[in-house]
A and B are shown apart, each in its own frame.
Chain A
Amino acid sequence: QVQLQESGPGLVKPSETLSLTCTVSGGSISIYYWNWIRQPPGKGLEWMGYIYSGSTNYNPSLKSRVTISEDTSKNQFSLKLRSVTAADTAVYYCVRDPRKSGSDYGRHFDLWGRGTLVTVSS
């Protein structure tokens, strides 16, 4: 079955760039929408953005700092968040939205990675 696994540094210094990669196994990233969602400790969920067939869409509140990209040869997609502060400390999840182009359904998230905690601290 399809599985998602996040990887990347667990500690990032303030003002630097947070970089995470999601490896998708058991299925191709060439279909579906692939998302990053984060959750600060003890708080709720925040959608960050997605990539779909090379096209991206970002949360307006993060748009100036976020880039999501894909490497189809490795079946991976990645997140870069620039100029991080302590407020960016969170568990970061890579997540699948199972819609296909033209779907009648709205965005929803059926498959989640286990999440990786990234702490922003000097």
Chain B
Amino acid sequence: DVKVTQSSRYLVKRTGEKVFLECVQDMDHENMFWYRQDPGLGLRLIYFSYDVKMKEKGDIPEGYSVSREKKERFSLILESASTNQTSMYLCASSPQGGRVTSGANVLTFGAGSRLTVL
């Protein structure tokens, strides 16, 4: 019954390291998202992608990049990790928009990746 899988549940990295967070979905969804969750701030959108090789900045893209080479996979990249990027990262996917169908803008989330940058 796996739908959205995030490759690492817990990561510990050092400042300046390059970090890859991987996300794979098996629902053939067109849209994929990376959110960051911090206490008191809720979820904030980092990047999203509505098609292969397409990406759009969310509300807090600084310090991050993404890659979507295949429909089912959406990677979040921290080029040079910093301590203020210590957080919970949540990947999500949703089916194609256009006219909203019964599930078109409902996100399915992964279990999250908790990143600590020392």
A and B physically associate = no
Interface of B toward A, CB cutoff 8 Å: none
Interface of A toward B, CB cutoff 8 Å: none
